[in-house]
Structure 1
Amino acid sequence: MSWVVVSDAYELHAEACAYLESLRARDRSINTQRVYAGRVALYLTRCAATGADWAAPGFVWLTRFLHWLVEEPLPPRGLKTRPESRYREKTTANQIVTTVGEFLRFGVPNGWVKSETAAMLSERKYLSYLPPGYSAGEDGQHRVVDAKTIKFNVAVPGYEWLNDEQYGQLVDATSRARDRFLVAVLGATGTRIGEALGLHREDMHLLSNSASLGCQVLGPHIHVRRRLNSNGALAKARMPRWIPVEEGLVELYAEYTYERGRVPEAAESPMVFVNLFRAPLGRPMSYPNAKDLFDRLAAKVGFAARPHMLRHTAATRWVRSDTPRDVVQNLLGHVSPSSMDPYVHATDADKRAAVDRLAAKRRQQGAGA
């Protein structure tokens, strides 16, 4: 699958299409390509509507574009007679402008965009205070970074995850074995949705001994490998890894295999997750399929539920069970230890326990005095 950008007259925008082709060449996932294509198309549409030259928008115009993104109402959803007005978040606007900046920078070496246009998008900044996990280098050479000049200042969003009760409710809300297994895989292994949708049946080593499969890893486990798939699913991590699983997940896979066996069209597909309930039967599940599933489950349980929340859920469980951070890092497929920091969440109980421990220690010190 390839994404392109076309005009109202159905003419290809050559420069935008070349940019999207570069994303494919860099092994960016099909989902990333889809999102970036929409952002670039939105930018080009706004340029055409205002008479701006997309290759030389100007600092003031880009600033106005940033504000237009949050002030312009989004198209209504569904067929409601009196739809509520919806607007983009400032974080979303920042992401769109970031993609536009990358698109413009891509145009510089190709001769479409002047270097000064790309240069105005960022400025050199000295980091007086370093973010958690950020290394300044032995000589502080990494303290000077390129900071975006056109953006909203927004608070860092909190990372969402599910507690044990919510996770159980989400699993119980599934009515089909395939959907139940997908939710369980994400919650038990911490895989990204692209990694889960990219699983092949040959990756499922669910026997106590997989030597017959040419694998020396003991116990049931799954392999996560980066490969090109027909559904566009792509593992973010370039290095392959294996993740051990519990017997409960093996049982769910057996139930799913039985359900899948009743759909003849699914027999030949090498992929684990395939369409079983709507046409085209047997085709690998896609990102939109998974989003639709989680949207339905969220409506059913009454709280937000997205695939990546289950990655945070798995990581938080491992950390709280005193799993060493380097082991959790390997399970998640992170290259940098600092990438693991966002996956550690403190609950109300954790914070209350910390305060109670300090109070108890002070009481002991007071009694000793």
Structure 2
Amino acid sequence: MYVRRVVGTGARRETYTVVDGDGRVVETVDDYLALCTDREHSPNTLGARALDLKVWLAFLRLMDLDPLTASPEHVGQFAGWPRRPGQPGHLRSADTDRGPARETSTVNRALNSVYMFYEFFARRGVGMGAQLSHRRAASIGDHGGFLGGIAERQITTRPTRLKQTKRRPPTLTDVEVQQILDACGRVRDRLLMALMFETGCRIGQALGLCHEDMDQNPIS
């Protein structure tokens, strides 16, 4: 089973699908990825979804299960399998274990792809999508967005997710920042890069700035 890049639909020139060992497209996955393509998800997102679902299908094959007959219990079992893949029911000596094969963030991304895959089929009235999430009352700390606290609301939660440690992203040194600024051939580019370095804003935020957003009065 492998992921194959194919011609997309609509505005997407390319998309991805999953092909089994006999060279046949896995129709259930292809239907879902076709929807993602029509919604113009980015190529990176489409490729990641295809890879995640390929891993899920490999797990189901070991369990001798059809994708549409799998249960939430199997999703829970799958959460640990990419970390230490092996034949279900077979024991391995701890002395030969080399540690997790995949990072926690990668497994959580795969679980998210599985959830969305079954939510797609739940709209057709098949699969376990309706069993993979439940709604609870919102509590302190839940992000509600603008005016989120003026009325009671509920949060959709997914039961299976690995605990993930937040890691601080690497940052550039002052020397590296200066090298980037010196490499800018235009004043416009240098201003844009300096603005992002000094303020921490993202590229979209920087490009959306107007003259009235800037305080041009010198600091006394």
Q: 1:330 to 1:133 in 2, by over 3 A?
A: farther
Q: 1:245 to 1:133 in 2, by over 3 A?
A: farther
Q: 1:69 to 1:136 in 2, by over 3 A?
A: farther
Alignment coverage as a number of residue pairs: 185
Q: Secondary structure at the match of 1:2?
A: strand
> Gapped runs of 5+ residues in structure 2?
1-13, 87-97, 209-220
Q: Do the aligned partners of 2:134 and 2:157 also contact (CA within 8 Å) in 1?
A: yes
What are the Cα deviations for residues 206-237 of structure 1, in whole angstroms up to 9, with x where unaligned? 7xxxxxxxxxxxxx7xxxxxxxxxxxxxxxxx
Q: Which residue of 1 aligns with 2:61?
A: 48
- Rg (Cα) greater in structure: 1
Q: Secondary structure at the match of 2:148?
A: coil
Deviation at 1:164, TM superposition (A): 2.3
Q: Do the aligned partners of 1:318 and 1:328 also contact (CA within 8 Å) in 2?
A: no
Deviation at 1:91, TM superposition (A): 1.9
- Correspondence 1:108 to 2:154: no
What are the Cα deviations for residues 90-135 of structure 1, in whole angstroms up to 9, with x where unaligned? 2211110110110111112234x23xx1122112233322257844
Distance, in Å, in 2 between the alignment partners of 1:316 and 1:15 is 45
Q: Do the aligned partners of 2:133 and 2:159 also contact (CA within 8 Å) in 1?
A: yes
Q: Do the aligned partners of 2:134 and 2:156 also contact (CA within 8 Å) in 1?
A: yes
- Taking structure 1 as the reference length, what is the TM-score of the superposition? 0.43
Q: Quick one: which of 111, 116, 124 aligns to 2:135?
A: 124
- Correspondence 1:19 to 2:32: yes
> Gapped runs of 5+ residues in structure 1?
74-83, 173-179, 186-205, 207-219, 221-243, 250-309, 320-324, 334-369
Higher percent of residues as helix: 1
Deviation at 1:314, TM superposition (A): 6.5
Q: Superposition RMSD on alpha carbons, in Å? A: 3.6
Q: Do the aligned partners of 2:132 and 2:159 also contact (CA within 8 Å) in 1?
A: yes
Distance, in Å, in 2 between the alignment partners of 1:133 and 1:165 is 40
Q: Which residue of 1 aligns with 2:104?
A: 90
Distance, in Å, in 1 between the alignment partners of 2:100 and 2:207 is 35
Deviation at 1:3, TM superposition (A): 1.0
Q: Quick one: which of 123, 145, 160 aligns to 1:150?
A: 160
Deviation at 1:332, TM superposition (A): 6.2
Distance, in Å, in 1 between the alignment partners of 2:145 and 2:169 is 19
Q: Do the aligned partners of 1:120 and 1:149 also contact (CA within 8 Å) in 2?
A: no
Distance, in Å, in 2 between the alignment partners of 1:133 and 1:107 is 28
Q: Quick one: which of 245, 248, 256 aligns to 2:189?
A: 245
Distance, in Å, in 2 between the alignment partners of 1:34 and 1:329 is 24
Q: Which residue of 2 aligns with 1:61?
A: 74
Structure 1 residue ranges, 4+ long, deviating more than 3 angstroms after superposition: 131-136, 166-169, 313-316
Q: Which residue of 2 aligns with 1:224?
A: none
Q: Do the aligned partners of 1:19 and 1:103 also contact (CA within 8 Å) in 2?
A: yes
Q: Secondary structure at the match of 1:48?
A: helix
One-letter amino acid of the structure 2 residue matched with residue 317 of structure 1: E
Q: Do the aligned partners of 1:315 and 1:332 also contact (CA within 8 Å) in 2?
A: no
